[in-house]
Amino acid sequence: MSNATLPSSLRAPAPASGSPLRGTLKGVLATLVLLLLALLFWQLLDQLQQTRKDQRQHAIDYNADLAEHISLNLALNAQIALNLLPIVEPPQNADQQQLLLKKLQLSLPDLQSIALLDAKGQLVSDSDADGQDAAWLTELTSRSRGQRYYYSNASDGALVQLLLHQPSGALKSYWVLRLAPTFVQSLSPSPDQGFQPTWVIENRQDQKTLSRDDGSSTPVTSDEIANSVLVAPLGNSDWQLRGLFDERAVIEQLLPAFIAKCLLGLAFSLLPVIALLNMRRRQRQLHEGRRRYQDIFEGTGVALCVLDISGLPAFLDKAQLHDSEQLKAWLEHNPQQRQLLLEELRVTEVNQVALRLLNVDSCEQAWKLLIEGSPLNSSAIGNQLLETVINQHKQLELEIRLSDAQGHDQHLWLVLRLPEDPADYRAVILSISDITSRKLIELSLLEREGFWSDVVRTVPDHLYVQDVISQRMIFSNHHLGQTLGYNKTELHQMGEYFWEILLHPEDADLYHRLRQEQRHAGYLQLLQCHLRFRHRSGQWRCFDIREQALARDKYDQVTRIIGVAKDITDQIEASESLRDSERRYRMLAESISDVIFSTDSKMALNYVSPSVQSVLGYDAEWIFQNGWQSTIANPQQLTGIYALMERIGKALDKPEQLAQLRNQVQTQLFLFDCLRADGRKIPIELRLVLVWDEHGAFEGVLGVGRDISQQRRAEKDLRMAATVFEHSTSAILITDPAGYIVQANEAFSRVSGYAVSQVLDQLPNMLTVDEQQEAHLRYVLKQLHQHSTWEGEVWLKRRNGEHYPAWVGITAVLDDEGDLASYVCFFTDISERKASEQRIHRLAYYDALTHLPNRTLFQDRLHTALQSAERQKSWVVLMFLDLDRFKPINDSLGHAAGDRMLKEMATRLLDCVDDDDTVARMGGDEFTLLLQPRTSREIALNRAIHVAEQILASLVKPFVLEGREFFVTASIGIALSPQDGNELSQLMKNADTAMYHTKERGKNNFQFYQADMNASALERLELESDLRHALEQQEFILYYQPQFSGDGKRLTGAEALLRWRHPRRGLVPPGDFIPVLEELGLVVDVGDWVISEACRQLKAWHQAKVRVPKVSVNISARQFSDGQLGMRIATILKDTGLPGAGTDRKYPDARSQRSDADPRRPEEPRPEHRGRRLRHRLFIAELPQAVPHRRPEDRPHLRRRPAVRRAGRADRPRHHRHGPQPEPRGDRRRRGNP
């Protein structure tokens, strides 16, 4: 219906500007999208350029730091070599040169040879006898320009030369170190994770490549020279570092991220486009709704008029008119009010059929003709309609007759149905039928009337007209309440607006929004929503509500709406069921590992499951663009698929061939190889199924592709497992769930002695040892029940009854349902391994000679005992024992006799302790004893004293070695825990200290540890350390005691007395340091210094005209031990310049020079020295024999107690240092003291 057919007061404004406005909005949105895309692309390009610049600068900085790092490494390696090279004296021969080479190779692993050059660069010596680079080395010395070090490499590039210059010291020369080419590669640090710039180390002289960042040495190309960003020379070398930056590679690396960001921006830009398309779709829907309404209203073929009589009830109420009689009386008294009353009966819409039928052009003319009437037409329905409304009749049916100006009569049948709710009076439909030919064809008219009546009544949807202001339902073809199952009584109790009571609480907000939108609905705007109402059965029924403005007031506000309510509960349930099914099938397709795809009836792909990404490495979009054939490794494998597709294509337009194809082609199976995105080839099993609809029409192809790599691997594994089972070196048994043997391999027969046929259908009890069978099998079955596997060591039994240890593993095999299917048992004979383990354990924890626990096992037991004692608050006794004078026996009789003594000593010690005590040999002649913890200190002390006394008593019995008896004693040190320490190292140290303290107290005894023992030991260590530096620091001095004749009138000589002037201790007595010199072995060097100093002083006296006939010097027996004393004395006499004649040398008896530590004979006077006489005499007195003892800190040493033989005595002794010095006070005769 056109807008012109409406009354002027009811016409809506023409939406002429709507389309341009919407077009402008779309243009603006499209422009914004393009601007956003351009801005995003510009930003990404700028970011790409900035990243390229940053990485270029990073390459420059990295290579600069790398050049500095390599230069520092070069300098460091050169300095290391300079520190290791000799400064004073070069190697004298090839052996010394090889020793120097090995010493340098410890710090420079790449070093291959060394060479020595003189100051002019000439080759002096070379560890490489085949070296051919002498000329090159000479040139290298001149090119180094006197630098401390210089790196280069020969033209052949085989070796790297490091030239080291020694401008100072005794060797003013050059050293050349030849290094392997790998030395250059070791200069650079290990590459870090992430972006790593490239670089090249090359020779500046010939541009030859030495090393690269990837470890190769390929030459530099012209492209790399062009890509150079830094050329940094390496200090003190012919080399330079060339930093490279491949801009193309960087861009290629950044390009994927750039493309990904562009695609992401494009994806986001599609959102406004989608919004525009949605707006266009909604616009088309509104237009379609208006068109449908217009088609319904105009295309019914019935003359229809829509009357708005909503104001009539109010007018009648105002005039207090409640029945037709009152109306007639009121009109008789107020005829002028009739026109106002009729104006409340407005015609709001008239379709084209009614316009043609009434021969009018507008709603005003139709109103005048039908409602107001005219002189020619007195049959207007105004009065009848007023009576119908005032009498509250539901329907008005009447026949009227209209006459035109030509006098033609027209019979019309008017039908007007009043809504039950006066609120719906805003849109009352008046149907007008031409019944002119009624008299002739009355039956036909009756049928037509019945037809239209049935149409309205049988429309399944609820068609209603509602007053927007009062919310009253003006018209409804079906009562909503009755549709919901309620009777009139129930509806009456719920009231006029019963639908608001029956409305679902969750839809209340939506309903009120709909009511608000009704007032401002635009022209032809369709309001649509879904509302739920409660059925009388308690079920919620969902209705699709579609409403549109039906009438407007003079302010263009909607006053009435027309709507259609359709019960879509069943459709929603069906749709939800369909969506659930689709969702389940889609989830199934997306969750399984197989690739699922489908095509339409034209064989075009329309779905590919996401699992294609995990199977082939391609996403679904790539498959849509490139097709499946792009992934096939061998196109010939597609022959069968192509033949099937060709057959389907030929039969698409031929129903007979389609039916034949449906009957003949079921599931098709194809096998072919596909190439994954990573280049790996995998086998695919493809199943194709033709899809048909319920009418037999072809819908497409459904395919399922499965990666059968695991299946093929499983088949291969099965074959391999069978091979392993038959050829395994381990015995394998397979039993059923009840434990009966069902299979065994050949190795089982070799190990157990049973044939496979003998054990089938038998329990494995025959293989187990009876003693452990029942209890152990219960434990194994329990482990299998809990963990499905067990592995451990078991004693088994062979067929001949022999028992042997075996390593057994049992695994429970479950089927697909998780039920036990079988047991698999493997076992291996480990008899040899167990024997080897026992031998290794014996060698690792026991002494091979005495079979006692060694140091390792003893410390482990001591540690365990200390932990247990700490928990139980008990006392542990630790005893250290060392044999006295064992070394002389071992050295004189040999090691075999010493070993026999140690073995017998071990036996005696074991007899002195209980079985639960521990006796161990720590090494040499040292033994340790660990007594079991005691509950109190007194019990522990008594136990320690008792064991120590037993040990000393057992040593009273002699040891018989080689037919002779030998007696030894023992020194025992005892420490108690926790009194003397709770930790292992502290307790052992204290026991050792107590043992050495026993030796100092005379040996053959035992001592308990005391705290002051450590103090004396530390003092002794400090004294030994100072003595080792006393000679080189010139802290020793000589005092000279004059010697006179018996009458005291004639000086017969002087005795040299050694003294030590300590910088802190002052003058140390000889008795405190001379025994220590003996033990440290320094007495020979100090004795030679005494002889030299005495000879020098004697010569000084002679030069000063001081007559001293002789000087006596005390000499230790150790000075005779090496047989070189005479030679040293002769050298000293020669160096000091004493005359060679007149010397009287006295040698002591050889028998008095024997010692325990060194039993060699003393030096005898050589024949060439016999008979010579010197004008001055050198009298040599011997130090007496010393006795050995041990230091309480570490290894055994020999200590000798000196007693100086008197060479002469003087009545008035005098002390001299570098000349005679008077003694201020002293006895006339003084005993000599060394």
Q: Does residue 171 have a pLDDT over 60?
A: no
Helix (H) or strand (E) holding 1012: helix 1012-1030
Tell me, what's the pLDDT at 340?
A: 83
The mean-pLDDT minimum among 204-208, 240-244, 304-308, 1164-1168 falls in: 1164-1168
More confident residue, 1201 or 424: 424
User: Which residues share a beta bridge with 1040?
Assistant: 1056
Helix runs in 1124-1170, H state only: 1125-1136
Q: Select the more confidently predicted residue: 670 or 386.
A: 670
What does the pLDDT read at residue 1155?
35
As beta bridge partners, residue 1058 has: 1038
Domain architecture of the chain: domains with CATH: 303-458 (3.30.450), 460-591 (3.30.450.20), 594-707 (3.30.450.20), 728-835 (3.30.450.20), 846-1010 (3.30.70.270), 1020-1199 (3.20.20.450)
Average pLDDT over residues 546-557: 85
Over residues 12-23, the mean pLDDT reads: 49
pLDDT of the residue at 169: 54
904 falls in which pLDDT band (50, 70, 90)? Answer: very high
Residue 910: predicted pLDDT: 95
Q: What is the pTM of this model?
A: 0.33
User: Would you state the pLDDT for residue 379?
Assistant: 54
Instruction: Quickly list DSSP for 1192-1203.
Output: SSSSEEEE----
1163 pLDDT above the threshold of 50 = no
Q: Which range is least confidently modeled, 12-16, 1094-1098, 1173-1177? A: 1173-1177
Cβ atoms of 518 and 561 within 8 Å: the answer is yes
Look at residue 12 in the predicted model and tell me its pLDDT: 38
Q: Three-class SS of residue 419?
A: coil
As a whole number, mean pLDDT of residues 219-223 equals 82
Average pLDDT over the chain, rounded to an integer:
79
pLDDT of residue 1226: 36
Q: What's the pLDDT at 7?
A: 40
CB atoms within 10 A of CB 1046: 10
List Cα–Cα distances, 744 to 232, 432, 731, in angstroms. 73, 103, 8
Given a contact cutoff of 8 angstroms between Cβ atoms, the answer to whether 1036 and 1089 are in contact is: yes
pLDDT over 70 at 1217, yes or no: no
Look at residue 1183 in the predicted model and tell me its pLDDT. Answer: 36
pLDDT (0 to 100) of residue 189: 78
Which one is predicted more confidently, 3 or 344?
344
Please list, in sequence order, all residues whose beta carbon lies within 8 angstroms of the beta carbon of residue 486, skipping any fewer than 6 positions away.
Answer: 494, 498, 536
pLDDT in tens, 695-730: 778 888 989 998 888 888 888 877 787 777 777 778
Residue 44 pLDDT: 78
d(C-alpha 151, C-alpha 575), whole Å: 85
The dihedrals phi and psi of 699, each to the nearest 5 degrees, come to -105, -20
For residue 441, what pLDDT is reported? 65
pLDDT digits (tens, 9 = 90+) for 945-971: 999 999 999 999 999 998 899 999 999
| pLDDT over 60 (residue 309) | yes
Provide the strand spans (E) within 1101-1230: 1110-1115, 1177-1182, 1187-1190, 1196-1199
pLDDT tops 50 at residue 626: yes
Highest mean pLDDT of the ranges 11-25, 290-304, 534-548, 1191-1205: 534-548
Q: Give me the sign of the Cα torsion angle 1074, 1076, 1081, 1085.
A: negative
The residue-averaged pLDDT of 1113-1140 equals 80
Q: What are the distances in angstroms from CA 141 to CA 86, 89, 148, 161, 233?
A: 19, 21, 11, 11, 19
Q: Is the pLDDT of residue 447 over 80?
A: no
pLDDT top residue among 774 and 360? 360
Confidence label for 23 from pLDDT (cuts 50, 70 and 90): low
CB 614, CB 713: distance < 8 Å: no
For the chain, give the percent of residues with pLDDT over 70: 85
Residue 444 pLDDT greater than 70, yes or no? no
First to last CA, the chain: 148
Q: What pLDDT was estimated at residue 1223?
A: 39
- Looking at residue 1008, its pLDDT comes to 92
pLDDT of residue 138 exceeding 90: no
Structure tokens at 648: 């389907």
Q: Per-residue pLDDT for 1050 more than 50?
A: yes
Q: Which residue has the higher pLDDT, 408 or 978?
A: 978
Q: Which of the four pLDDT bands, split at 50, 70 and 90, describes residue 172?
A: low
User: Which pLDDT score is estimated for 717?
Assistant: 78
pLDDT of residue 217: 78
Report the pLDDT value the prediction gives residue 17, as an integer from 0 to 100.
44
Calculate mean pLDDT across residues 279-308.
Answer: 80
Q: Which of 769-783, 1125-1139, 1149-1163, 1203-1217 has the lowest mean pLDDT?
A: 1203-1217
What pLDDT, on the 0 to 100 scale, is given for residue 589?
Answer: 66
Cross-strand partners of 531 = 543
Statement: residue 20 has pLDDT above 90: no
Q: Is the pLDDT of residue 1188 over 60?
A: no
Of the listed ranges 153-167, 555-569, 850-864, the least confidently predicted one is: 153-167
Q: What is the DSSP letter of 371?
A: I
Distance of CA 421 to the CA centre of its chain: 76
The pLDDT value given to residue 1114: 86
Angle at 98 between CA 93 and CA 99, to 5 degrees: 100
Report pLDDT for 542: 92
Instruction: Answer whether residue 10 shows pLDDT above 70.
Output: no
Predicted confidence at residue 469, as pLDDT, reads 84
- The pLDDT of residue 481 is above 60: yes
DSSP state of 214: T
Residues 997-1035 pLDDT 10s: 898 888 899 999 887 666 666 777 777 788 888 888 888
CA 829 to chain centroid: 41
What integer is the mean pLDDT of 763-768?
A: 84
Q: Which residues contact 173 (CB under 8 A, 6 or more apart)?
A: 90, 116, 117, 118, 119, 124, 166
pLDDT band at 452 (very low <50, low <70, confident <90, very high): low
For residue 170, what pLDDT is reported? 53
Q: What is the mean pLDDT of the segment spanning 669-674?
A: 90
- 781-798 average pLDDT score: 86
What are the pLDDT digits (tens) for 109-124? 888 888 888 878 888 8
| pLDDT at res. 1130 | 86
Grade residue 916 by pLDDT with cuts at 50, 70 and 90.
very high
Asked whether residue 753 carries a pLDDT value surpassing 80, the answer given is yes
Which band of pLDDT confidence, cut at 50, 70 and 90, is reported for residue 629? confident
Bridge partners (DSSP) of residue 397 are: 415
The pLDDT of residue 405: 59
Each residue's pLDDT tens digit, 570-623:
888 888 887 777 777 677 766 677 888 889 888 888 888 888 888 888 988 998
Reading the block at residue 304, the tokens are 């229809």
Of 446, 445, 412, 447, which is closest to residue 431 (Cα–Cα)?
412
Least confidently predicted of 525-539, 679-693, 770-784: 770-784
* Tokens coding 521: 């609905």
